[in-house]
Amino acid sequence: MALIVQKFGGSSVADAESIKRVAKRIVDTRRAGNDVVVAVSAMGDTTDELLDLASQVAPLPAPRELDMLLSSGERISMALLAMAIHSMGYEARSFTGSQAGMITTADHGSARIVDVTPVRVREALDEGAIVIVAGFQGFNRDTKDITTLGRGGSDTTAVALAAALEADVCEIYSDVDGIFTADPRVVPLARKLDHVSAEEMLELAANGAKVLYIRAVEYARRHGVLIHARSTFTANEGTYVLGEGMAHPRHAKKETDVTDVTGMEEPVVAGVAIDQSQAKITVVGVPDVPGSAAAIFALVAKTGANIDMIVQNVQSASPGRTDISFTLPKPSAAEVLKVLTAEKETLGYENVVHDDQIGKLSVVGAGMRTHSGVSLTLFEALSKAGINIEMISTSEIRISVVVRNDDVHEAARVVHSAYGLDSEIEATVYAGTGR
């Protein structure tokens, strides 16, 4: 008998019909002889609606109260789901995050899980019940207050429960079939991956892939949790996210040696991700002397902006001066421009330019460590498509470029094709948000 943790996102429990469908899915898993613990998100767009409501009564809602409000979304779906399971003749018990022992830091709106003490969850399992836990929320021991984990936090709830309960697998259900080589809404010939390494998944998530939340993948990697990302709408196998030393269950069952795990060589590139949430700021004509970059980024750091790519280039037109460009989340740009403009005299630069029409494309693959010429394929594909590259950055297993935002979808398609990732058939895209 296995212990399976299942997570259902908001789009999977959007209305009464969907809740009944999910309940059936859970009962089927139980009937197959497994213990089942479920983490559930708020119904549909509930969290957004609650946020909207809060902003109507207060311009800056008190963080403690906002968490009280937002955590109620998951209480609605957990209770309804438990009721639906009951009416199918199975014992089900719902628990809030704090009842389930999700202990977090005190940071309202972005709390991190520091401990999981699922005493009541275990008791309920021992008594034969299916357990439903409200996702996205926890409890801080010092303040004794309810916290939330940040948007999309139910993935993390599920993974943390799976780790604490030593579950066999953590199944994350959404309205897509698994993890694809690219977003199928952008690249119709994207292929579903059979498995992906946790390190590749982290890079993909950090660079714009929305199918799994980065914190959940991090937690899974640290605690050795096997994630299976799959669809609520089909019984098909999805994608396994494999941490170090883990094997795909289908292969792990066979007592074959490791070289047989996939039967073929891993592709160099696992996937292509795009990120359209960033802006670019260029500080033009900075004095090319030691300390200039330090002075600029000291100011930027004070705003709390999360800087991604940085490029510096000596100006050939005016010797002794250099241009520094960097990218950052669009909402952070206004504040950064303000501090840079205020210090124009002291920094001694000529001009500052803001550009919010950029798109970032990243290619991720662990095979880059051992293969050469991987970036050339990317550059040639973009060149053939007439797409201009504005910035380039690389890590050990990733190459990213900044292009015009209008070009980024086309760029994703040509690059996907250039790496031989295209499938013969178009991916099925269900209506919905992907969550």
Residues that bind ligand ASP (CB under 6 A): 9-10, 41-42, 47, 73, 135-136, 151-154
Task: Return the number of the residue (42 or 187) whose C-beta is nearest ligand ASP.
Answer: 42
Q: What's the CA gap between 316 and 319, in Å, rounded?
A: 6
User: Contact 85/23 with Cβ under 8 angstroms?
Assistant: yes
Task: Return the number of the residue (50 or 189) whose C-beta is nearest ligand ASP.
Answer: 50
Task: Return the number of the residue (153 or 208) whose C-beta is nearest Mg ion.
Answer: 153
Q: What's the CA gap between 74 and 154, in Å, rounded?
A: 9
Task: Return the number of the residue (47 or 239) whose C-beta is nearest Mg ion.
Answer: 47
Least distance in Å: CB of 356 to ligand ASP? 24
Least distance in Å: CB of 32 to Mg ion? 28
Least distance in Å: CB of 45 to ligand ASP? 8
Q: What's the CA gap between 109 and 41, in Å, rounded?
A: 15
Task: Return the number of the residue (6 or 41) whose C-beta is nearest Mg ion.
Answer: 41
One-letter amino acid at 282 equals T
Rule CB under 5 A: which of 21-50 touch Mg ion?
A: 41
User: What 3 state SS string does 235-250 have?
Assistant: CCCCEEEECCCCCCHH
Give the residue closest to ligand ASP by C-beta: 154
Task: Return the number of the residue (108 or 398) whose C-beta is nearest Mg ion.
Answer: 108
Helices (H), 9-104: 16-31, 46-57, 63-87
Closest CA to 374 of 401, 406, 404, 405: 401
Q: Among Mg ion, ligand ASP, none, what does residue 122 contact (CB within 5–8 Å per kind)? A: none
User: Contact 410/385 with Cβ under 8 angstroms?
Assistant: yes
Site size with Mg ion, rule: CB under 5 A: 2
The tokens of 386 are what?
A: 């007439």
User: Which among 9-17, 220-228, 284-292, 369-377 is the span making contact with Mg ion, rule CB under 5 A?
Assistant: 9-17
CB atoms within 10 A of CB 172: 30
Give the dihedral of Cα atoms 376, 379, 382, 386; nearest 10 deg.
-120
Task: Return the number of the residue (28 or 48) whose C-beta is nearest ligand ASP.
Answer: 48
- Helices then strands, each counted (H, E), the chain: 13, 20
Least distance in Å: CB of 317 to ligand ASP? 48
Q: Among Mg ion, ligand ASP, none, what does residue 135 contact (CB within 5–8 Å per kind)? A: ligand ASP
Q: What's the CA gap between 137 and 157, in Å, rounded?
A: 8
Least distance in Å: CB of 301 to ligand ASP? 28
Asked whether position 101 contacts Mg ion by CB under 5 A, the answer is no
Least distance in Å: CB of 153 to Mg ion? 9
Q: What's the CA gap between 181 and 434, in Å, rounded?
A: 15
Task: Return the number of the residue (95 or 213) whose C-beta is nearest Mg ion.
Answer: 213
Asked whether position 10 contacts Mg ion by CB under 5 A, the answer is yes
Task: Return the number of the residue (80 or 421) whose C-beta is nearest ligand ASP.
Answer: 80
Closest CA to 36 of 138, 157, 117, 121: 121
Q: Among Mg ion, ligand ASP, none, what does residue 164 contact (CB within 5–8 Å per kind)? A: none
CB atoms within 10 A of CB 419: 20
Task: Return the number of the residue (69 or 281) whose C-beta is nearest ligand ASP.
Answer: 69
Least distance in Å: CB of 150 to ligand ASP? 8
Give the residue closest to Mg ion by C-beta: 10
Least distance in Å: CB of 74 to ligand ASP? 6
Q: Among ligand ASP, Mg ion, none, what does residue 181 contact (CB within 5–8 Å per kind)? A: none
Q: Among ligand ASP, Mg ion, none, what does residue 292 contact (CB within 5–8 Å per kind)? A: none
The tokens of 250 are what?
A: 């289908």
The tokens of 357 are what?
A: 């029409």
Least distance in Å: CB of 281 to ligand ASP? 29
CB atoms within 10 A of CB 39: 32
159, 166, 237, 240, 362 from 250: Cα distances, Å: 21, 20, 10, 10, 30
> What are the backbone dihedrals phi and psi of residue 434, each rounded to the nearest 5 degrees, phi first?
90, -5
Q: Among ligand ASP, Mg ion, none, what does residue 151 contact (CB within 5–8 Å per kind)? A: ligand ASP
Least distance in Å: CB of 41 to ligand ASP? 3
Q: Among ligand ASP, Mg ion, none, what does residue 332 contact (CB within 5–8 Å per kind)? A: none
User: Which among 2-10, 218-226, 240-248, 345-353 is the span making contact with Mg ion, rule CB under 5 A?
Assistant: 2-10
The tokens of 61 are what?
A: 């809602």
User: Contact 151/112 with Cβ under 8 angstroms?
Assistant: no
Residue 77, Cα to own-chain centre: how many angstroms?
Answer: 22
Which residues of the chain form contacts with Mg ion (CB under 5 A)?
A: 10, 41
